[in-house]
Amino acid sequence: MILLDGKHTSNQIKEEIKDTVSGMKSRGERVPHLAAVLVGNDGASLTYVGSKVRSCEYVGFDSTLIHLEENITEAVLLKQIEKLNQDKTLDGYIVQLPLPKHIDEEKILLAIDPKKDVDGFHPANFGRMALELDAFIPATPFGIMQLLERYKVPTNGKHCVVVGRSHIVGRPISILMSQKGPAGNATVTVAHSRTEQLAELTRQADIIVMALGIPEYLTADMVKEGATIIDVGITRVADDSHPKGYVIKGDVKFDEVAQKAHFITPVPGGIGPMTIAMLLKNTLLARQWNAS
């Protein structure tokens, strides 16, 4: 069994980006600049945004945190978005989700200039990705593709079952893996809550991507010997024996599935750490594309 080590790989990618930025600096070029918009004081959001900003600093990017009051109006937020769209010193930005309930999330996401949409959530980016044009790919599927590619997991002609059809994980990874290119050319099945006889499907799969959000849903009897298992699930499960009062569980019953898998991602330390690395990668791409 080979662990697909997202922590190690994401560090590797960060080092590569850091080297590229050093090169830019030494040539006197402007370094990539990422901004993060945070509305309100949600604890998890503060943690995520803080971690993104620190990662920017680590690789040598410029970063800006725009922290707005919880009770900001949609109109004022839209004006802020417009300002960021116009800002020529800024390569990309993200709007941390969720937004407060009085703000229409869809309206805000559609207002982001697709050329600065380093989260890859804008339909223009989704469409460009699906039609095989240059695009910002959402961090989670982008991270999965990088892990598969760097560990040389065979995908060409293989059968991959993606469990989950969300806009930011299930749907994009299913498209990417069935396109031509590295970690591509797979035969991909998208399964979801309505799927009949899921276990029959997953037992046929050479690769399973679990993006359902149900802790330990995938058990050993649902998996073929030698399969590759990608676990995108991150659910907090109450556990009094832990100081935090919870543990993080993936969608895969790791201990038993790992016995049968050839490649498998752990949770935590699998896909999770890859996402920030891919956000940085998208920001670097934004810098390069917008310059040309």
Contacting residues toward its own copies, per CB under 8 A: 106, 122-128, 130-133, 156-159, 165, 167, 171, 174-175, 178-179, 185, 187-192, 194-196, 201
Of residues 192 and 262, the one with the C-beta less far from its own copies: 192
Catalytic residue among 5, 91, 96, 117: 96
**Which residue number, 161 or 277, has a Cβ lying nearer to its own copies?**
161
Q: Tell me if residue 119 is catalytic.
A: yes
Cα–Cα distance for residue pair 193/190, rounded to 1 Å: 11
CB of 116 to its own copies, least distance (A): 16
Tokens representing residue 39 in the block: 């509305």
Q: Tell me, what DSSP letter sits at residue 133? A: S
Query: Residue 13 or residue 227: which is nearer to its own copies going by CB?
Result: 227
Contact (Cβ atoms closer than 8 angstroms) between residue 104 and residue 76:
no
Q: Minimum Å distance from CB 134 to its own copies?
A: 11
Neighbouring-strand partners of residue 1? none
Residue 65 exposed, middle or buried by CB count within 10 Å (0-12, 13-18, 19+):
middle
C-beta of 165 vs 260, nearer to its own copies: 165
Structure tokens at 216: 């330990």
Asked about 288 being catalytic, the answer comes back as: no
How would you class 186 by CB atoms within 10 Å of its CB: exposed for 0-12, middle for 13-18, buried for 19 or more?
buried
Q: Least distance in Å: CB of 206 to its own copies?
A: 9
Amino acid in position 133? L
Q: Active site includes 18?
A: no
CB 152 → its own copies: shortest distance, Å?
A: 17
Residues with a catalytic annotation lie at 52, 96, 119
